Amino acid sequence: MKKELAKTYDPKDIEDRLYKKWLDKKYFHAKVDKTKKPFTIVIPPPNITGQLHMGHALDNAMQDIIIRFKRMQGYNALWQPGTDHASIATEVKIIEQLKKEGIDKEDLGREGFLKRAWQWKDEYGGRIIGQLKKLGSSCDWDRERFTMDEGCSRAVQEVFIRLYEKGYIYKGSRIINWCPVCQTSISDAEVEHEEQSGHFWHIKYPVVGSGDFVEIATTRPETMLGDTAVAVHPEDDRYKHLIGKKVLLPIVNKEIPVVGDAYVDKEFGTGVVKITPAHDPNDFEVGKRHNLPEINIMNDDATINTNGGKFQGLDRYEARKRIVKELDELGLLVKIEDHVHNVGTHDRCNTTVEPLIKQQWFVKMDELIKPAVEAVKTGEIQFVPERFDKIYFNWTDNIRDWCISRQLWWGHRIPAYYCDKCGEVVVSKDAPEVCPKCGHTHLTQDEDTLDTWFSSALWPFSTLGWPEETEDYKYFYPTNVLVTGYDIIFFWVIRMVFSGFEYTGKAPFNKVLIHGLVRDAQGRKMSKSLGNGIDPLEIIDQYGADALRLTLITGNAPGNDMRFYMERVEASRNFANKVWNASRFIMMNLEKARTSDNIDPKALTDADKWILSKANSLVREVTDNMENFELGVAVQKIYDFIWEEFCDWYIEMVKPRLYSDTDETKAGAIWTLKQVLTTSLKLLHPYMPFVTEEIYCTLKEMEDSNPDDGSIMISEWPVYDKEMNYSKEEEAVETIKAAVKGIRNVRTEMNVPPSRKANVYVVSEKDNLRSIFEGSKVFFATLGYAAEVFIQKDKAGISDDAVTAVIPEATIYMPFADLVDTEKEIERLEKEKARLEGELKRVNGMLSNEKFVSKAPEAKIAEEKEKLEKYTNMMNQVTERLAYFRK
């Protein structure tokens, strides 16, 4: 028994089944094959703590569309999957779990904690991978990697040692982001800036040796305990006489210098800035320029340390209150201003981040970044859209050394060992047996782990076997395109680029496709705090993965944010139903009349050639759009073609031929339906893989093809046929469509029900138009609700009460004597007249403009003249009809 499509489309019935089939058949798996050209994408590795959200869904849908497209084009397409160990996020999760069991992290010890961490990873770490599969992601899951698996860990160790030996990695004291709750340094990527209401405290610092004061304004009064200078602009006439003098630091009662530095903005605030090198990155740089001491006044938990004197042991905010109170009592508090400013918080625990000076491991960036800058400047790496290279250069131009150490246990432990006797530092893959300096036999490994971004920076090549010269690495690297959100250009993209050049000598990819954020219907960022997040898995469960994917891509432009509307999801589901029902209709007719793959062109009508030509043009346009990553533009064209041209027009046009047993063109209609359906399914497949697969495979099985080979995802992508030229037939059918639309519009405006038929008179002086209409009378019955159709050169025999539809070079009359509402007809014609007046005014304005006529191309001028003639003829007909009704 031949397979048939179910009467109704139910994604739950097909999606899991089809995905299992794809996995079983190894359709996603890519092997080295030097007879084929490779195309590689590496997945931005989701955190093992992650759960699929709309951002993930968009990012992975885009990657899947591209990889399915390239696979069908004949490339050896690899989509390399994997997950990130996410040091901080994972450690926080495990600590939370331990707390519920009444266990403290320290009680377990490092080895015990890591054992629990690996157990957690094995139990929960693959959750998001299963969710990506629900989305339809065609990753090569046989190649799944993890940033802490043996191969990736070996790559991390290799890179650390290489950079250290080149002098690019060093340990030193610099300002870093510090989380007082998680008790670790964190990267810029983990700092979220949010607007908070705060204050500017204006404080007087007495000038030593005079009765004068300088006034500073600060948002963090507690840091004044660590001030080592105040700074003014060297060209500020108000203060330059103070440079070299000293001020008395209030409360601490210590003299500190006044320095001149161009960092100070003369126009901002008071023009005097307190300098706290240990607690502000800009102050740190000023301090280096002026050899200022660095005084850290905070413990790791953000309480005040011994350098804070009488405030020692207080929380930073409690210390702030007491310092402000004391300044007020001393008469040194000038005023307090309300101030809204951006405050950095840790994205994992929402704690306000503290800039602190710390001994950490850093990567020197000044040399490493140079090839990464040059690659984008020369176009070796291109951003899509191009405007994002400005953000890239803004970061590279202001780059600072990268803090790579983290005070965590989960992650890649830094391969540095310290001699317990002489303190010698040894960096090596394995623990040294003896100290190379003093011969001592006991060395202790550094307690810190590496920043998660250190390993993910190697992702494009470590996943393919580097540092080994594996066949996969040599064949699939460099990768082709990276798809990612604009929010991590700095943190991940740039690190992959400079890492690729440094360790492989090549750019890791040549295109970076940037997408925006998925926002809610009101344009707000989806977040837990707002409670406006939408679970993609719930959408998939209710509407299917195809509907979600289509919704996320429709209208999506590279780099732009998009709004998520449930109405659009329903529209996408309705489109899937439309495709399904149209396919069922076509298959039912295929079943009734077997056709071969070859058809006599004489059996094709103008309508057949029109839709074939439209489909052919669609192939060219969609392919070009997809090659340029205009995924939203491409799918809109596919959507419009399938819904309107194919379903609403062509299928309706051919129904009379399909229902006739004597129509000699029936075979041509059925053949055309099958060809265009197949092409449409292939173009749609990257976007809606499940529904297209089910229909395509059912169609293949009906054709007695080998069902084992009947997968659309390994079929050939349609290719534009340059030899197909049906422009004459296209013009003819478009003319018929215009006439039918005119009839429908008039009937709609007059509220005439489709069940009420009427005679249709088509009047044109043009012989070729009358010939087109004569051969297409049948379409007026099926599409224009016509009882009979008459094609005439003049209006002879047409009743005076006929209602009109005006199209270029022809007028359509419908004698709805008992249906016509004269007033409404006059109103409609008045609107049409007003529209035509506007068009004529525009055209005449252009043609009477000397600058336009002298500078515009001849083709453009000819086009406008043609429009003038067309609108003039239409205006004459409308005016004539208005005159008739106003008699």
Q: Report pLDDT for 771.
A: 86
Q: At what angle do helices 127-135 and 54-72 cross, to 10 degrees?
A: 60
Residues 294 and 237 in one domain: yes
Domain boundary, last residue among 447, 467, 495: 447
Residue 1's pLDDT is what? Answer: 43
Kindly state the percentage of the chain with pLDDT values over 70.
97
516 part of a folded domain: no
Predicted pLDDT of residue 746: 83
Residue % of the chain over a pLDDT of 90: 67
Whether the per-residue pLDDT at 63 is higher than 70: the answer is yes
pLDDT: is 599 or 446 the higher one? 446
Q: Look at 470 and 179; give whichever has higher pLDDT.
A: 470
Can you tell me the distance from the alpha carbon of 256 to that of 269, in angstroms, rounded to the nearest whole number?
21
Boundary (domain end) residue, out of 694, 725, 756: 725
- pLDDT tens per residue across span 108-141: 999 999 999 999 999 988 899 999 999 999 999 9
Whether residue 276 sits in one domain with residue 192: yes
pLDDT of residue 818: 43
Q: Are residues 701 and 837 in the same domain?
A: no
CATH number where 596 lies: 1.10.730.10
What is the rounded CA–CA span in Å between residue 617 and residue 640?
Answer: 13
CA-to-CA distance for 414 and 448, rounded, in angstroms?
A: 6
As given in the structure block, the two tokens for residue 805 are: 């539809």
Angstrom distance (rounded) from CA 395 to CA 624: 32
Mean pLDDT to the nearest integer, 152-159: 97
Q: Which domain holds residue 436?
A: 414-447
Q: Which amino acid is at 207?
A: V
Tokens for 390?
Answer: 């400005």
- Cα 819 to chain centroid, rounded: 53
Residue carrying structure tokens 């179910």: 6
What mean pLDDT do residues 671-680 have? 96
Per residue in 418-446, pLDDT tens?
Answer: 999 999 999 999 999 999 999 999 999 99
Q: With 70 as the cut, is the pLDDT of residue 751 above it?
A: no
Q: Quick check: is 34 in a domain?
A: no
Do 779 and 718 fall within a single domain? no
Computed over every residue of the chain, the mean pLDDT equals: 91
Please name the amino acid found at residue 294: E
DSSP state of 686: T
HEC string of 777-803 equals HHHHHHHCCEEEEEEECCCCCCCCCCE
pLDDT band of residue 821 (cuts 50, 70, 90) is: low
Q: Residue 453: inside a domain, yes or no?
A: no
Give per-residue pLDDT as tens, 638-666. Answer: 999 999 999 999 999 999 889 888 888 89
Mean pLDDT of 51-66: 94
User: Residue 194: which pLDDT band, with cuts at 50, 70 and 90?
Assistant: confident
- As for how many domains the chain has, the answer is 4
Residue 399 lies in a domain: no
Burial of 274 from C-beta contacts in 10 A (0-12 / 13-18 / 19+) = buried
pLDDT mean over 89-99: 91
Is residue 785 a contact partner of residue 745, using CB atoms and an 8 Å limit? no
pLDDT at 883: 85
Q: Please give the pLDDT value at position 445.
A: 96
Instruction: Clarify whether residues 840 and 756 are in a common domain.
Output: yes
Lowest-confidence region among 301-315, 366-380, 562-576, 737-751: 737-751
Look at residue 144 in the predicted model and tell me its pLDDT.
Answer: 97
Q: At residue 708, does pLDDT exceed 80?
A: no
* 638 and 787 housed in the same domain: no
State whether 325 and 432 are in the same domain: no
The two three-digit tokens of residue 399, written as one number: 């780059």
Contacts of 835 (CB under 8 A, 6+ apart): none
Whether residue 367 lies inside any domain: the answer is no
Q: What is the pLDDT of residue 597?
A: 64
| 751 and 689 belong to one structural domain | no
Is 48 a residue whose pLDDT tops 60?
A: yes
93 is in an annotated binding site: no
Together in a domain, 564 and 687: yes
Per the domain annotation, does 789 fall within a domain? yes
Q: Nearest-CA neighbor of 343 among 219, 195, 184, 220? A: 195
Judged against a pLDDT cut of 90, whether residue 635 lies above it is answered with yes
Q: Angle, to 10 degrees, between the axis of helix 631-640 and the axis of helix 545-553?
A: 120
Evaluate the omega torsion of the peptide bond into residue 753 and state whether it is cis, within 30 degrees of 0. Answer: no
Neighbours of 869 (CB within 10 A): 12
Please tell me whether residues 741 and 618 are part of one structural domain.
Answer: no
pLDDT 10s digits, 535-552: 999 999 999 999 999 999
Say yes or no: 642 and 718 in one domain: yes
pLDDT (average), residues 660-681: 92
Task: Give the model's pLDDT for residue 481.
Answer: 98
| Residue 503, helix vs strand vs coil | helix
What is the spatial distance between Cα 335 and Cα 268, in angstroms, rounded to a whole number? 17
Q: Mention every residue, 6+ apart, whose C-beta is less than 8 A from residue 383.
A: 376, 389, 392, 512, 514
At 776-813, the pLDDT tens digits run: 888 887 888 787 888 989 888 888 778 888 888 888 88
Question: Which tokens sit at 612?
Answer: 């074939």
CATH of the domain at 244: 3.90.740.10
Average pLDDT over residues 226-241: 95
pLDDT at 817 (0 to 100): 58
**Mean pLDDT score, 755-784:** 83
**Could you tell me which of 741, 861, 724, 759 has the C-alpha nearest to residue 807?**
741
Q: Are residues 585 and 630 in the same domain?
A: yes
Please tell me the predicted confidence (pLDDT) of residue 819: 55
Of 696, 725, 754, the position where a domain reaches its end is 725
Confidence of residue 600 (pLDDT cuts 50, 70, 90): confident
- The closest of 73, 55, 11 to 688, measured between CA atoms, is 11
Residue 313 has pLDDT above 90, yes or no: yes
CA distance 851 to 847: 9
Asked whether residue 53 is assigned to any structural domain, the reply reads no
**What is the three-state SS of 804-861?**
EEEECCEEEEECCCCCCCHHHHHHHHHHHHHHHHHHHHHHHHHHCCHHHHHHCCHHHH
Over residues 605-625, mean pLDDT: 96
What pLDDT shows up at residue 596?
59
Amino acid at 144: E
pLDDT at 524 over 90: no
Q: Is residue 482 one of the residues assigned to a domain?
A: no
Is 60 exceeded by the pLDDT of residue 626?
yes
